[in-house]
Amino acid sequence: MASWKDNVRRVEPYVPGEQPKVQNIIKLNTNENPYPPAPGVEAALKAFASQDIDLLRKYPDPSASALIDTIAEYYGMDSDQVFVGVGSDDVLAMAFLTFFNSEKPILFPNISYSFYPVWAELYRIPYEKQPLTDDFKINPEDYYKDNGGVIFPNPNAPTALYMKLDAVEDIIRHNQDVVVIVDEAYIDFGGTSARDLVNKYENVLVVQTFSKSRSMAGMRIGYAFGSKALIKALNDVKFSFNSYTMNATSLVAGVEAVKDKEYFEEHCKMIVATRERAKERLTELGFTFPDSKANFIFAKQEKVPASVLFEELKKRNIFVRYFKQPVIDQYLRITIGTDDEMEQLFVALKEIIDGYSI
C-alpha cells in the first residue's frame, strides 16, 4: 500500500540561517550586506514597475544576455565565459549535476559550506571530506589524490580564512583531469580572485554571487566564470532542466548593480573597515578567531560557551549563527553589520560575559 515510499529520494537537507519574522532585530546570522543595493537598482526597479510591468506576463530572456554581457564587460571576460543562475547555490548545484559524474569521490573540506554534502547526496555523487589543519587552513596536498572533482570556498565558510592564489593554483595544477570549482562568495572582502585562472586552465570554474558584496541576496543572482567548454556544458544542462531561471526583475536589477563600480567598491571598503574594528573589540572581549577576509568573523569566547552566547543574544534580539557540530561547536559566526549594529552587539556580549557563571 505504501510502496511508493521506497522510491522517494531522501537526503539530510541544508539548514539555512534563521530568518526571524519579528521587527527591530539586529540580524548578523546570514552574511547579508547591511547596506542597500546601488541607487541604480532602485531606480531601475521603479522604472520597470511603471513602464515595463507588462513584461511580467512574458517569459524572461532565457539566455540572460543583458546580464551576462554586463558581467563579462565589467570583469574583462568574453560573454561565453560567463554563466548566471538563481543565486550561487543554483549555479553550484548545476555545476555538481553537470561536472561531478565520475564513480570516484569528489573532494571538499570537512569544515566548509554545508550545502556541498547535501548536493552530493541528492545527486548520488560519492564524496570525501578532507580535514582542515588545526588552525582551520586547507592543505593543498590533501587534494593531490585521485578523485572525481574538487570544490572549496575561498575565503572558506564558516572559518572566513582566505587561501592565497598560489595555493589555489597548486590544487588546480594537481587536478587537471577533473573540474575544480572555486566558490568565491566572499572574495570581494579580501584576497585575489581566481577568475583569471579560467584563461589558463580549461577545467576551472569560479563561482561568485550578488548576495554579499552587491547587497542583493533577495534577488538571487549568482554567476560563474569558466572556459567556453565548461560554460557551454552548464548551459546545456540548464536548458535541459529549466530554461527560464532568471526572472525579469533580477535581470534588470542585476545589470544596474554591476554598473555602479564606485558604490560597490566603497561599500566593500566600509564593511572591511568595520570588520577590522570588530576584530579589535572581540579580542578585548576575550574572543579568538581566524583572520577573517570575509564579511563575517568566526569567533570563540574563552569563558562562555557559544551555545550560551547564542541564546542570550537571541533574547536581546541579536541573531548570530551557531553550528552545533563537532570541532566548531564553540564558535559563533558573526556577520559584519553597520557600525551601530556592531556596537550594540559588543555591549550585549560584554553584559553576557560579565554576568556568566558556571
Query: In the predicted model, what is the mean pLDDT of residues 266-283?
Result: 98
Same domain, 200 and 284: no
Rounded to whole angstroms, the Cα distance separating 68 from 297 reads 32
| 10, part of any domain | no
Q: Is the pLDDT of residue 294 over 90?
A: yes
The whole-number pLDDT of residue 54 equals 86
Same domain, 302 and 203: no
**CATH number, residue 281:** 3.90.1150.10
Same domain, 297 and 231: no
pLDDT tens profile 250-264: 999 999 999 999 999
Domain boundary among 218, 241, 259: 259
Domain boundary among 259, 289, 320: 259
The whole-number pLDDT of residue 6 equals 85
- Residue 290 DSSP symbol: -
Q: Is 84 helix (H, G, I), strand (E, B) or coil?
A: strand
| 323, part of any domain | yes
Same domain, 267 and 329: yes
pLDDT tens profile 197-236: 999 999 999 999 999 999 999 999 999 999 999 999 999 9
The whole-number pLDDT of residue 53 equals 87
| 12, part of any domain | no
| 84, part of any domain | yes
pLDDT band at 71 (very low <50, low <70, confident <90, very high): very high
Q: Is the pLDDT of residue 1 over 60?
A: no
Query: In the predicted model, what is the mean pLDDT of residues 46-60?
Result: 89
Same domain, 346 and 212: no
Report the percent of the chain where pLDDT is more than 70. 99
Q: Following CA atoms 295, 296, 297, 301 in sequence, which dihedral angle do they give, to the nearest 10 degrees?
A: 150
Report the mean per-residue pLDDT for the chain.
95
Same domain, 185 and 317: no
Same domain, 215 and 279: no
Please tell me the pTM assigned to this model.
0.95
Rounded to 5 degrees, what are φ and ψ at 247?
A: -75, 165
Domain, as residue range, for 207: 39-259
pLDDT tens profile 76-125: 999 999 999 999 999 999 999 999 999 999 999 999 999 999 999 999 99
| 124, part of any domain | yes
Residue 98 grid cell = 553537470
| 9, part of any domain | no
pLDDT band at 357 (very low <50, low <70, confident <90, very high): confident
| 224, part of any domain | yes
The whole-number pLDDT of residue 21 equals 84
Q: Is the pLDDT of residue 358 over 70?
A: no
Cell 572566513 appears where? 160
Report the percent of the chain where pLDDT is more than 90. 88
Q: Is the pLDDT of residue 184 over 70?
A: yes
Same domain, 246 and 272: no
Domain boundary among 234, 259, 284: 259
Q: Following CA atoms 300, 304, 307, 308 in sequence, which dihedral angle do they give, to the nearest 10 degrees?
A: -140
Rounded to whole angstroms, the Cα distance separating 271 from 123 reads 37
**CATH number, residue 92:** 3.40.640.10
Same domain, 85 and 151: yes
pLDDT band at 243 (very low <50, low <70, confident <90, very high): confident
Residue 187 grid cell = 572574495
The whole-number pLDDT of residue 315 equals 96
Instruction: State how many domains the chain has.
Output: 2
Q: Is the pLDDT of residue 242 over 90?
A: no
pLDDT tens profile 136-173: 999 999 999 999 999 999 999 999 999 999 999 999 99
Same domain, 51 and 155: yes
Same domain, 30 and 45: no
| 8, part of any domain | no
Same domain, 249 and 280: no
